Every structure is written in structure tokens, then in C-alpha cells.
Structure 1
Amino acid sequence: MSPLLHQYSLMERVLHDQRAAEALPGEVRRHGSSRAFIVSTASLAQSPRLREIAEALGPTCAGVYTGVRAHAPRDSVMAGAVAARQAKADLLIAIGGGSVIDAAKVMLLVLRHGYTHAEQLDVHAGAPWNTETQRPRDHAHWLRMMAVPTTFSAAEYTSVGGATEPKTKAKQAFGSQMMMPVAVVNDPVMTLTAPLDLLLATGMKAVDHAVERLTSNRANLYSDTVSAVALSLLSRNLPALRRDPSSLAVRGELQYGVFLSMAGIASGTRSNLAHAIAHAMGSLCDVPHGLTSCVLLAPVLRWVGDAAGGKQRVICEAMGREGADAASAVADLVASLGLPARLRDVGVRQELLATIAERTLHDPLTANCARKVESASQVREVLEMAW
């Protein structure tokens, strides 16, 4: 066996199938915080679920910011950081989907450095965030965050947050070990605040996470095992959710599948080409990440082909589609969920494909693909298949 390092994150606890309003006060006390600041979105601003959590926190709730928008534009991140600073927050609690959780992570970066203008983030965009030590040297100067996900985007399980630069509409990655949520509360009831089609689409993003770890050129026994179990849970329960949206049991199973879809990161196995294209395309074309997975994952699997070796068979077996090909199994799952399957169906204009292909080459996840990506023309092949 080749040398392999398993390095676990600074996340301390993942609470499954627990009510957020009941669990968070104890988690906040456990962390030693007294001024928790809630970060969310306008769609949840009037939600009784959000009010219930704020009320349960009582005097430890220092404030609520609900200005995060889709793709976490920098101005909403900065506004949230300013509000948290004014509230003298000592902990952030992100309640929402991927954009909210990403925004809260980048807010931590803003607060750590005392930034007041969005341009000050430029120096951190795309910079390496891993260090040789488990905690960076300045760890004592960072605030931390907790997350209560309302979708299946899985943003809560990474130490990287994306924020959109307004001029280029490019979604940039920012990261630090200290941006990893210290705790995640998986409350199936909180997913009732999201529309069903959004849940199904973000569930496909979790499928994307599992599949792309299986087809990564850095895959290993650990990442393969957890990713295959995740794919089994997700591919079985997403159609079940569409049939019975009221089932909290199904929603809980999906949340556990999302958790497992991200577990392979501990052994250094990250996503690859479908995610890289999604990063290049999502903010440029205003396509939510869940939908990018719907339209890109099957074409990427077709393009990767035999380079993935036996992993195509593993994908089919995990999805209960023995004897099929992986691309068809994924495409059939997308169709069964009533989700879009082509780039044109999500509003991507054909004249933008060249730009998307060029941007994809600069995304670090591209290097993880089982089939080596050496040119923009190769990415363009995938995009034309997806068109």
C-alpha cells in the first residue's frame, strides 16, 4: 500500500437527527460562547424555525443577519461580517443552505483580519489553506462557527467557503482550517424550510461528491468505502423523498448520506472535474450548484470512461444498477427526480462554453480527475456532451 495520511478536521461534533432549537443552546455553552450571531438568508427571515432557534438561545443570541444571497456575493459577506462585529459576536451560527454556510465561513476570514472592504479579500482568493500543523499559528485569534443545514449541499463539512467576485462573477475559494464548523446539527425538520426541488437538486450535489471521490485519482480504500455507502443512501432516498416529501425518516437518512459523501476528505480525496466545471459555471451563469451536478455528472462520467477503472462498476452497484454503465445510472436518477439534465435547460448559453472551459483549467479540483485534463478543448468536449 502506498503511503497515506488521514488528517481529520477541526470539526468536533456532528449531531444527527436532533432538533436544532433543543441542541444549539447546549452546543453554544459547550463551546464557551456567550454572544452567538445567526447568519441566514431572506427566505428564512420570517421562518418560525429561525425564530424558534433565536428564542431558544435566549440572551446568548447577539443578533441575526439574513442578508446572504445566492452564490454568497462578497457584498453580502462583508455586510454580515460588519453586523457580527458590531454585535461583538464570539460565535457564528449559519442556518441555511450552501450559500449561507459558505458566507459564514468567509465572514470568519473577514473578522479574523478586521477587513472593512471586499477588495481586501483578494489576497486570500484561491490561496493554499493547508498547513503542516493541525491548527494554524494564529488559531487563538479566530472566531468559530456552527452550522444547521437546511439543504443537502454538504458545505458544512469543508473548511473552504466560496464567495462571488462581482466584476467577473467568478466564485472564488477561501479557506482555513479555522473555517471548518466546530459543530453541525442535522435536524431533518429544518429541511422542511427548503422547497422540494431545491432539496432534490442539492441531494444530487451530494451524489456528485460521492461519485467524484470514487473516480478521483487520489481515491483509496477509506474514501471508496464511505463514498459507496453514501451513494447507496442517497440514490435510494432521493426518489423516496420525491414520493413522500413529508417523511422525516427519509430526510434523516439523506442527511447521513450527505455526511458520508464528504467523509473521504479525511484521507485526502477531493472532488474533481464535475465540481471544477461547476465552480467555473455556477456564478458566471447563475446556476445553483445542485443543478450543475444534475447536468454535468453524467457527461463527466462518460468522458472519464475506462480511466476510472472498476469504479464505474462500483458506482452502479452502489446505486442498485448492476450491469448498467455509471453515466446512465446517474442520468436515470436525475430523470426520476424530475430535474434538468442539459446545460441549455438551466440557461447556460452556448457562447459561454469556451469561457467556462478556460476557467475550469485553473480550478485546482481539475487535477484530481481519473482521466488527466490537459487542455480547455477536453473540458469543451464534456460541455458539448452536456449541452
Structure 2
Amino acid sequence: MIDATKAILICLWEGIDSVEAFRTAHSMFNGTSASKPGRERMFAVPTTLSAAEFTSVAAVTNPHIGQKMMYRHRNAAPQVVVLDPGATLNTPLRLLLTTGVRAIDHATEAFCSASANPMTDAYALSAARFLSAALPAMKVDPENLTHRQLAQFGMWQGLLASSMGAGAGASHAIGYALGASYGVAHGETSCVSLASTLRWNAEVNGDRQKLLSEAMGYRDQPAWEVIRDLVCCLDAPMPLGDVGIVASEIPRLAERAFTYAPIRNNPRPIRSPGDVAEILMYMMDASIC
């Protein structure tokens, strides 16, 4: 709903009054923020852990082409964000936990990015530490507001790491394709994509991934296994089959994912949809949990 509100505000500011006009105007908001200031602003009280309230980007799916489209406007970010753990109590637990994995995805891909820096590293590792502890604790004790508040701080830090120059990689690109082309829920895309992406990338950044494992409390376990075990303990979807994707869809899904910009930021270079398909094959393992 936060991204939807951003889109509504952009339409109000720019005088856009139809879906077709909104689609046509996409180029105005793609890459750099539009300069026209907006009078109406947002006050956000988030109820999930996706962290959309900390960006000026509205992610909107065009169902006609199955494409996730980004609308950027400098005033789209809320003026005020209130992290009230009590506001999450009515959120379905599965939704809250899977968007928490999305928050870990922000932190993990930022930490593993070739563009990472000391500032993003500090936020990313702290986010991984908070979230990897808070999410299982929330599942065991759903009414405990302390766990929910720590997850919110982790969510915030993970997004800060992602938005301060580090960016995202193949897990996000695959997630965009799963969401826009196949209707997989936002948080669940990361549950499916993150562990396998880490596994594929370990060839080039295995030593760095060890620092992630250590931050999450597992010094001697590969980061992809730590994420896999976390997702499994949350009873969230893990293999592609859990979200209805069969092996015959891999070429199409790989082509879709390859079109998204985060692919170009992946720490292990992805040169073709065939490379994406290799990651997707890891995701087909039905025995992964």
C-alpha cells in the first residue's frame, strides 16, 4: 500500500488522471526523480517489513506486459515514518515473516555488492544480525513486541545499506520477475531466490559471505545454507515449486529476470539468461528444506 500511495501522490502532483497516462509517463520518472515538487506528502506507519517507506521509488506492476516498473520522485518518500511494532499485530504472520526475509535480501545483496562500502557494510551486517534473530523469535512468540521492533530496526538498516550506493543483485532481479510475471508475493520472492543466488555467487565472494554467516550466528556454515535454514524454519516457500513454478518455465523466467537492472550489479557477472537459469536450477530442488 505504501508504493501504491507513492504512485497516487505522483499522479496528483503531475495531473495524471488515467492508467494509460500513468503508463505513458513512466519515462519521466525512470532513472532520475522528476523535479516538480509536490504539496501533498505521506505519513507512513508500516505494517510489514518490506521497507518501501524509506525510498522515493514506487514499484508498480504493468499486468499487460508482466513488467515491474519503477517510478521515482524526490518527494515520494514519506516525510515521517513511525516504526510502531503494535501496528504489525494485525498483519498475517506469514506476510510479516516473508517480508522480513525481503529485508534480509536488501541487507545481504548490499553487503555482497561490488559497490559496497564501509558505511553500507555496517548497516548490512547489523540488519542481518537483528533480522536473523528476530524473525524466528517472532514465529515462536508472535505477540512479543520487542521481537517485532528489532525486526523493524533491522528492516530499516537493511534498506539503508541497499540505498547508500551498494544496491541489489540477481536475487532482486529474479524476485521482480517472479512478482510481475507470475504473481508471487513480494516477500516470498526473496524466500525463493536469496539462498540460491548466494550459492551461485559464492564462487567469487565466498570469503565475504562468511562474514554474513558470522553476523547471523553461524561462523562455520555457508551463508546460503544459513538463509535456507532460516527460510525453512519460518515455514516459508523455498523451492520454485512452492510458488507454482515448474521446470519448463525456467527459460522464460530467466529471460524476464535478465531484463532487470539489478542483474548488472550482481557480484558474479551475469552475461546471459543462461546464467540466470543456473541460479533457477538451484531453486528447483524440492528437497532443499
TM-score bin, normalised by smaller chain: over 0.9
How far apart, CA to CA, are the structure 2 residues paired with 1:295 and 1:266? 22
Counterpart for residue 351 of structure 1? 248
| 1:124–1:174 contact (8 Å) kept in structure 2 | no
**Distance apart, 1:353 and its partner CA:** 2.1
Counterpart for residue 113 of structure 1? 14
**Distance apart, 1:249 and its partner CA:** 0.9
Counterpart for residue 95 of structure 1? none
- Please point out which of 209, 229, 247 is paired with 2:144: 247
How far apart, CA to CA, are the structure 2 residues paired with 1:212 and 1:266? 11
**Distance apart, 1:124 and its partner CA:** 4.1
How far apart, CA to CA, are the structure 2 residues paired with 1:221 and 1:253? 22
Aligned AA (2:48) = T
**Distance apart, 1:151 and its partner CA:** 0.9
| 2:106–2:161 contact (8 Å) kept in structure 1 | no
Counterpart for residue 236 of structure 2? 339
2:32 pairs with 1:157: no
Judged with a 3 Å threshold, the aligned counterparts in structure 2 of structure 1 residues 361 and 294 are, in CA distance, closer, same or farther, namely: same
2:122 pairs with 1:221: no
How far apart, CA to CA, are the structure 2 residues paired with 1:103 and 1:174? 11
| 1:129–1:177 contact (8 Å) kept in structure 2 | no
Matches within 5 A, 1:206-355: 206-355=103-252
**Distance apart, 1:137 and its partner CA:** 3.8
How far apart, CA to CA, are the structure 2 residues paired with 1:366 and 1:159? 21
2:128 pairs with 1:128: no
Aligned AA (1:122) = R
Query: Normalising by the residue count of structure 2, what TM-score does the alignment of the two structures yield?
Result: 0.93
Counterpart for residue 36 of structure 2? 138
How far apart, CA to CA, are the structure 1 residues paired with 2:182 and 2:236? 18
SS in 1 for 2:50: coil
How far apart, CA to CA, are the structure 1 residues paired with 2:275 and 2:227? 21
| 2:30–2:70 contact (8 Å) kept in structure 1 | no
How far apart, CA to CA, are the structure 2 residues paired with 1:332 and 1:166? 33
How far apart, CA to CA, are the structure 2 residues paired with 1:166 and 1:306? 36
| 2:111–2:161 contact (8 Å) kept in structure 1 | no
| 1:108–1:142 contact (8 Å) kept in structure 2 | no
How far apart, CA to CA, are the structure 1 residues paired with 2:258 and 2:204? 19
Identity, in percent, stands at: 36
Judged with a 3 Å threshold, the aligned counterparts in structure 2 of structure 1 residues 157 and 238 are, in CA distance, closer, same or farther, namely: same
Which one has a larger percent helix, Structure 1 or Structure 2?
A: 2
Deviations 1:206-242 (A, max 9, x none): 1111111011121111101110001000001111111
Query: Normalising by the residue count of structure 1, what TM-score does the alignment of the two structures yield?
Result: 0.70
| 1:234–1:257 contact (8 Å) kept in structure 2 | yes
**Distance apart, 1:265 and its partner CA:** 4.0
How far apart, CA to CA, are the structure 1 residues paired with 2:24 and 2:205? 36
In structure 1, runs of 5+ residues without a counterpart are 1-99
In structure 2, runs of 5+ residues without a counterpart are 285-289
SS in 1 for 2:131: helix
**Distance apart, 1:309 and its partner CA:** 4.8
How far apart, CA to CA, are the structure 1 residues paired with 2:56 and 2:205? 27
**Distance apart, 1:384 and its partner CA:** 1.2
Bigger Rg, structure 1 or 2: 1
How far apart, CA to CA, are the structure 2 residues paired with 1:355 and 1:244? 40
How far apart, CA to CA, are the structure 2 residues paired with 1:339 and 1:309? 25
2:2 pairs with 1:101: yes
**Distance apart, 1:168 and its partner CA:** 2.0
Deviations 1:12-70 (A, max 9, x none): xxxxxxxxxxxxxxxxxxxxxxxxxxxxxxxxxxxxxxxxxxxxxxxxxxxxxxxxxxx
Judged with a 3 Å threshold, the aligned counterparts in structure 2 of structure 1 residues 102 and 137 are, in CA distance, closer, same or farther, namely: closer
Deviations 1:323-365 (A, max 9, x none): 1111111101111111121010111233332222112222111
How far apart, CA to CA, are the structure 2 residues paired with 1:146 and 1:372? 39
Deviations 1:64-106 (A, max 9, x none): xxxxxxxxxxxxxxxxxxxxxxxxxxxxxxxxxxxx0110111
SS in 2 for 1:162: strand
Matches within 5 A, 1:3-42: none
How far apart, CA to CA, are the structure 1 residues paired with 2:139 and 2:100? 11
**Distance apart, 1:263 and its partner CA:** 1.1
How far apart, CA to CA, are the structure 2 residues paired with 1:298 and 1:154? 20
Which one has a larger percent strand, Structure 1 or Structure 2?
A: 1
What count of residue pairs does the alignment treat as equivalent?
Answer: 283
SS in 1 for 2:75: helix
